[in-house]
Amino acid sequence: MSAALVVTGILALLLLRVPIAFAILGPTLVYMVATDHSTGLSLRTAAQEIDSFPLLAVPLFILLGVVANHTGIADRIFSFAQALLGRVRGSMGYVNIGVSVGFSWMSGSALADVAGMGKLMVPAMTARGYPRRFALGLTAASSLISPVMPPSIPAIVYASVAAVSTAALFAAAVVPAFLIAAGLALSVFLWSLRRPDQRGERAEPGEIRSSFVRVLGPLGAPLVLFGGILSGLFTPTEAAAVGTAYVVFLGLCYRRLSLPALGRIVVDTATTAASIAIVLAASGLLGWVLAREQVPQSIAEALMGVTDNPVVFLILVNLCLILIGTVLEPVAALVITVPVLLPIAVEFGVDPVHFGVITIVNLMIGLLTPPLGGVLFVLGSSTRTPMSEVFRGTAPFLLPLLCVLTLLTLAPDLVLFLPEYLGL
């Protein structure tokens, strides 16, 4: 009953548009006072949630993505992809996906990706005769590659909360990220069959060579990041620092960084990192309350009373997480749901790494759905488009994303074979 009141209070505050961290903190602190627990215990519990070495990678990867946005790296990837695919029918759709894949190795955040890609891709596609809704929907959907492909900020948070290897989770997410890209590419292919007019101009060999040379620097970022992690040369946290230094070096070489720009970059990074930290701290206290009230055990007993089939369990979890993702920011949703659902998943024999990838993909799909789809708001703001128009464009692309999610749910080997092959 106490846990139900806490959750009800949180939902009520969220409906009143109270910021997520404070919506969680208010009812949980009231619970602590009502059950005669000290304020000191509350502070220690919240602080312990963010006192984690792996979580140091979060602000560093945020910094890496912000610097990459400011240094024109996405523009270079765009130019190369356009030169390479220009003659293909529906080429700008494939370019959109390719730029998102390339930028995902440096971003780790869907919101950072769509903020940059929206200003770049939507005008470029509409100028070439692509329907605006199609451009909006594809840009929104392809932005989900960033938080799935390593370096993924949600993966770092999940690894910290679930106490699993960040490197293993990074490796496990590579194939799902490429599957999302493939699913979206198939959608573009089917769409382009009805649009024979959407064919670009063939690039000259010299143009392809010059654009390739310009993109060599950005292509080195994933080699630095994941070559170091997978070789054991440094941890994911250390990789974040090395990758950030590398991208800053590129920005200086391209003469796209100045002291005022660095100031704005640091402020943007600190603001985003602080908002994530306070949500993590608040959610850690909520996790303590739910554990004390034995909520995970109660849910586990209820689910096991419904089914003993792990596939059915995962389907139920998918439905639950997609609904949660529509109203909660992914980091908050991760730290609230993982402590509850992961022990149950283990009881059903689900691998924690497989469960982590499924959880992340579910919550990312929630970013594309009203009422609080973060990607929709950012894309609408950056392109000055009404939310209703953005969602109408995005809705058709939910189908390939859901198909990929179903495939990952039913075929865990797609997720687990790479970390197992690498011995992670």
Written as one string, the DSSP assignment of 265-334 is HHHHHHHHHHHHHHHHHHHHHHHHHHHHTTHHHHHHHHHHHH---HHHHHHHHHHHHHHHHHHS-HHHHH
Assess contact for 131 and 192: CB atoms under 8 A.
no
- Buried b / exposed e across 90-109, counting CB within 10 Å, b at 16+? bbbbbbbbbbbbbbbbbbbb
Instruction: Give dist(CA 96, CA 40) in Å, integer.
Output: 50
At 53, phi and psi to the nearest 5?
-60, -45
Q: What tokens were used for 296? A: 């995970």
Assess contact for 139 and 367: CB atoms under 8 A.
no
Mean pLDDT of the chain: 79
CA atoms within 13 A on the CB side of 134: 23
What are 156-210's pLDDT values in tens digits? Answer: 888 888 888 888 898 899 899 999 999 999 998 888 887 766 565 665 666 677 7
What are 129-166's pLDDT values in tens digits? Answer: 888 888 889 988 998 888 888 878 888 888 888 888 88
Q: Which residue has the tokens 């970390």?
A: 419
Which residue in 410, 236, 382, 164 sits closest to 310, CA to CA?
Answer: 410
Q: What tokens were used for 244? A: 């950030």
182, amino acid identity: A
Which residue in 151, 175, 113, 127 sits closest to 413, CA to CA?
Answer: 175
Domain boundaries, the chain: 54-277+295-421
What are 350-392's pLDDT values in tens digits? Answer: 899 999 999 999 988 888 887 667 777 777 777 778 877 888 8
Indicate the pLDDT class of residue 272, thresholds 50, 70 and 90: confident
